[in-house]
């Protein structure tokens, strides 16, 4: 990828130098032309005209060639930007990954805890969509807390066809950004177009338009007759009627045509994408063809060309003098507004279908791009059996990740993970959670193998207090844990998979231990399975009483007065602690 980016940089520099040479040649031709014209006039007028025509021809050729070069240069610049962004996603270079902004319900079962959304999140890593609708659909898939097996299998099949089509995805992005101009990084938002489509206003009757057309013809005819055969100026009467009717119509259709320039801009960008999808050769990619079927059957390029022509005609109001004189003579705006209403009625059903197909493909492209450029990913095996079996599972947001094996095969099981500070407990919980979310979205997971059933995922990892709501940290944690326990005990078709980090950390040691024991006992044997990460080594003794509880741990060692972690998950309770060691290394007073 780096070599491709550097190669594109060399091409761009070469073309920029050629573009500068074209500028110099155009200036030379201009000044040479002035001198040549002056000398030619000294010879004869014919010579002067020959020189003028020749120079104009040469100048036009230079302009055409220069524009073509600049068009190609713009494509290479955008292509390089696409590759740079892809490389940033591969290397987790967050400074060069476009940011995302979204509002998620703070009570969502897992979104905030396992970094599905946020500044450094899986959503930001995946979201290379070119439309706001596609971006929102991708987010909906990631936040779907009730997975559907049929939908998962369908998306997996679609992605298996889509992942190898790297050039298809890149060209689709290129076409969208070429039309965007200075707003290349801005996703296309269909809100304006859909609002325009659903906007209601008084419709113009075809008979009314016909009357205005006939009146304008009568005006022209009577005006010519009045000034050629000295006929009485009857055109004044028809003209007054024409202007009164036009003025009445203006109050009804002015708003319909007022946003014509923005509408034309939105349509051009939409046309660039839909036209590419319409003319792409899908060959054996029948599942991708099925997604684009609404686009392939109704041929949107034809409709958008028609709509662009209408909107372009209404855009004449950008030249007020010409627009006024034209509408005085003929009902220009009335006619084209009537045509716009007809087009809107025709597109009222088909346009949302085109957008839906594009958004679906756009979101799938994001998952396919991640799978294509991320080494070590695979499709999970998702079944109806309640289990979680992973080999070499890792976190996609950690650059130098350490992968681990992990199994949970029976409902009612609780895994207690102990370990020192910074040993990897919380990251491991998030590793399992984020890969489950990717699996349920239909995408690839970062694991050698992953076999899992359908679960409702619920986490309690990143709890925050609220000054505005008057909620302390401990009470916020209690409310979150109560919601998790209610979800685990509530009858449901899908079992719960829970991830809990540092249970009851907001209270004193004695009450935290009592509360933690009681809470874990309540989870044992419920219609759920999951993990609890804790510093409380006393909790590992629960495994001696309850066979459904098992212990795992992460460990560390001290080398040259610094902590060294291997982030390898091991069976059994943690044999070490490191809080006092960290305090001592940091220079704090410690009494052993």
Q: What secondary structure, in 3-state letters, does 113-166 show?
A: CCCCCCCCCHHHHHCCCCEHHHHHHHHHHHHCCCCCHHHHHHHHHHHHHHCCCH
579 pLDDT more than 70: no
Nearest-angstrom CA–CA distance, 285 and 293: 12
Residue range 490-505, pLDDT digits in tens: 889 999 999 999 888 7
Nearest-angstrom CA–CA distance, 433 and 449: 15
pLDDT band for 232, please (50, 70, 90 cuts).
Answer: confident
Structure tokens at 29: 């031709």
229 pLDDT more than 50: yes
Q: What is the distance between the terminal CA atoms of the chain, rounded to a whole angstrom?
A: 54
Angle between helices 260-279 and 191-198 (to 10 degrees): 110
Contact 76, 33 (CB under 8 A): no
Q: What's the average model confidence in pLDDT over 241-253?
A: 76
Range in 83-97, 286-300, 327-341 with the lowest mean pLDDT: 327-341
Residue range 66-112, pLDDT digits in tens: 989 988 888 888 888 888 988 999 999 999 998 887 888 888 999 98
341 pLDDT more than 90: no
Range in 251-265, 320-334, 348-362, 557-571 with the lowest mean pLDDT: 251-265
Q: How far out from the chain centre does Cα 389 lie?
A: 31
More confident residue, 489 or 314: 489
What lies within 8 Å, CB to CB, of 152 at 6+ separation is 382, 439, 440, 442
Residue 250 has a CB neighbour count (10 Å cut-off) of 14
Determine how β-strand 528-534 pairs with β-strand 549-554.
unpaired
Residues forming a β-bridge with 563: 558
pLDDT for the residue numbered 583: 63
Residue range 160-169, pLDDT digits in tens: 999 999 999 9
Of these ranges, 29-33, 469-473, 477-481, 572-576, the one predicted with the greatest mean pLDDT is: 477-481
pLDDT for the residue numbered 292: 92
Nearest Cα neighbor of 205 from 345, 335, 321 is: 335
508 pLDDT more than 80: no
Nearest-angstrom CA–CA distance, 117 and 3: 32
pLDDT for the residue numbered 381: 97
């Amino acid at each position: 990828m780096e070599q491709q980016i550097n190669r594109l940089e060399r091409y761009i520099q070469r073309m920029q130098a050629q573009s500068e040479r074209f500028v110099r040649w155009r200036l030379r031709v201009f000044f040479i032309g002035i001198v040549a014209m002056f000398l030619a006039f000294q010879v004869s007028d014919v010579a002067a005209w020959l020189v003028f025509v020749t120079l104009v021809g040469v100048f036009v050729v230079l302009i055409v060639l220069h524009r073509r070069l600049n068009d190609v240069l713009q494509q290479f610049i955008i292509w390089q930007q696409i590759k740079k962004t892809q490389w940033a996603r591969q290397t987790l270079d967050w400074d060069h990954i476009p940011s995302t902004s979204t509002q998620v319900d703070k009570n969502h079962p897992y979104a905030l805890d396992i970094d599905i959304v946020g500044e450094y999140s899986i959503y930001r890593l995946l979201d290379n969509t070119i439309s706001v609708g596609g971006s929102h659909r991708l987010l909906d898939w990631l936040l779907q807390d009730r997975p559907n097996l049929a939908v998962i299998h369908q998306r997996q099949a679609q992605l298996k066809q889509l992942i190898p089509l790297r050039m298809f995805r890149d060209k689709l992005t290129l076409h969208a950004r070429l039309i965007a101009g200075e707003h290349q990084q801005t996703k296309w938002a269909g809100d304006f177009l859909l609002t325009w489509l659903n906007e209601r206003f008084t419709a113009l009757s075809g008979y009314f338009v016909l009357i205005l057309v006939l009146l304008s013809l009568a005006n022209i005819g009577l005006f010519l007759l009045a000034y050629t055969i000295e006929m009485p100026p009857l055109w004044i009467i028809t003209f007054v009627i024409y202007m009164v009717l036009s003025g009445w119509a203006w109050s009804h259709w002015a708003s319909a045509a007022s946003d014509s320039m923005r509408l034309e801009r939105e349509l051009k960008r939409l046309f660039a994408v839909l036209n590419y999808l319409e003319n792409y050769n899908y060959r054996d990619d029948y599942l991708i063809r099925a997604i684009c079927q609404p686009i392939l059957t109704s041929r949107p390029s034809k409709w958008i060309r028609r709509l662009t022509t209408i909107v372009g005609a209404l855009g004449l109001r950008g030249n007020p003098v010409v627009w006024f004189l034209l509408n005085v003579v003929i009902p220009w705006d009335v006619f084209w507004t009537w045509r716009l209403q007809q087009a809107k009625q025709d597109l009222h059903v088909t346009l949302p279908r085109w957008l839906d197909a594009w958004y679906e493909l756009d979101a799938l492209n994001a998952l396919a791009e991640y799978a294509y450029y991320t080494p070590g990913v695979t499709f999970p095996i998702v079944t109806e059996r309640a289990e979680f079996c992973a080999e070499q599972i890792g976190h996609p947001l950690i650059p130098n990740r350490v992968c681990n094996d992990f199994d949970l095969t029976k409902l009612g099981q609780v895994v207690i993970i102990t370990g020192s500070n910074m040993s990897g407990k919380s990251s491991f919980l998030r590793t399992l959670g984020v890969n489950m979310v990717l699996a349920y979205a239909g995408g690839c997971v970062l694991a050698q193998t992953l076999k899992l059933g359908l679960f409702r995922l619920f986490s309690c990892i990143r709890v925050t207090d609220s000054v505005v709501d008057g909620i302390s940290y401990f009470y916020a944690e209690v409310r979150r844990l109560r919601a998790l326990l209610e979800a685990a005990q509530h009858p449901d078709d899908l079992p719960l998979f829970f991830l809990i980090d540092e249970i009851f950390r907001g209270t004193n040691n004695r009450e935290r231990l009592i509360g933690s024991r009681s809470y874990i006992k309540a989870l044992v044997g419920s219609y759920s399975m999951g993990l609890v990460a804790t510093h409380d080594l006393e909790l590992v003794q629960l495994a001696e009483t309850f066979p459904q509880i098992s212990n795992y741990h992460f460990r560390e060692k001290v080398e040259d007065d610094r902590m060294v972690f291997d982030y390898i998950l091991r069976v059994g309770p943690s044999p070490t602690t490191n809080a006092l060691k960290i305090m001592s290394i940091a220079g704090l007073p410690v009494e052993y």
